[in-house]
């Protein structure tokens, strides 16, 4: 039932939503920067890991279903999920999207070499790019790996040649077209 989805509180009540929540009533994922920086992250026990596996497999699982599957009370499951959010272990809830069916028929990994010590500036530029879905600072022959999804190759070309290469801190780019992609099933 929709009323029993993740938005349910420990007693079946919907917690008060906060402005800007991605889905009404869901606990708001917090930015882990600044959270628990004073010490090491809390260790996860087997129940926490089971909860993470359930939510990774089905982010729409109800509190009741999660509690039943890990053999704890609904209040305990709700408290644990909120703690995992507060600790930055759970960063958010989302959907796995078939980009081609969603009108984003061209996908590419783009590698970037950037000016030393400009990662934060470049990251802010990359976050504003249409179709950017993953950004990583990496080691090796290049500095940044960017995954983008665009409607077609023309839009991809525009993004690379106009948007990316106009960022002053970007020294060079290399585009790797994705011919086929498949999200790994969390159950495997």
CB distance 78 to 64 below 8 Å: no
pLDDT digits (tens, 9 = 90+) for 158-168: 999 999 999 99
pLDDT digits (tens, 9 = 90+) for 57-66: 888 999 999 9
- What's the pTM value of the predicted model, to 2 decimals? 0.67
> Residue 158: what pLDDT?
96
> Residue 182: what pLDDT?
79
Q: SS3 sequence, the chain?
A: CHHHCCCCCCCCCCCCCCCCCCCCCCCCCCCCCCCCCCCCCCCCCHHHHHHHHHHHHCCCCCHHHHHHHHCCCHHHHHHHHHHHHHCCCCCCCCCCCCCCCCCCCEEEEEEEEECCCCHHHHHHHHHCCCCEEEEEECCCCCCEEEEEEECCHHHHHHHHHHHHHHCCCEEEEEEEEECCCCCCCCCC
Q: What is the C-alpha separation between 101 and 97, in angstroms, rounded?
A: 8
Token representation of residue 32:
């882990």
């Amino acid at each position: 039932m929709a009323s029993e989805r993740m938005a349910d509180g420990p007693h079946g009540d919907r917690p008060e939503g906060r402005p800007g929540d991605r889905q009404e009533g869901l606990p708001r994922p917090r930015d882990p920067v600044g959270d628990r920086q004073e010490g090491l992250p809390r260790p996860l026990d087997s129940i926490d890991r089971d909860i993470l596996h359930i939510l990774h497999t089905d982010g729409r699982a109800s509190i009741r279903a999660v509690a039943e599957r890990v053999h704890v009370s609904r209040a305990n499951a709700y408290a644990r999920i909120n703690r995992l959010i507060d600790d930055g272990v759970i960063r958010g809830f989302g959907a796995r999207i078939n980009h081609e069916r969603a009108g984003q028929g061209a996908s590419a990994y783009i590698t970037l070499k950037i000016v030393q010590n400009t990662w934060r500036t470049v990251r802010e530029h990359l976050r504003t790019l249409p179709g950017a879905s993953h950004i990583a600072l990496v080691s090796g022959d290049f500095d940044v790996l960017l995954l983008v999804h665009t409607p077609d190759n023309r839009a991809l070309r525009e993004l690379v040649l106009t948007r990316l290469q106009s960022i002053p801190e970007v020294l060079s780019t290399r585009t790797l077209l994705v011919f086929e992609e498949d999200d790994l099933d969390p159950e495997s």
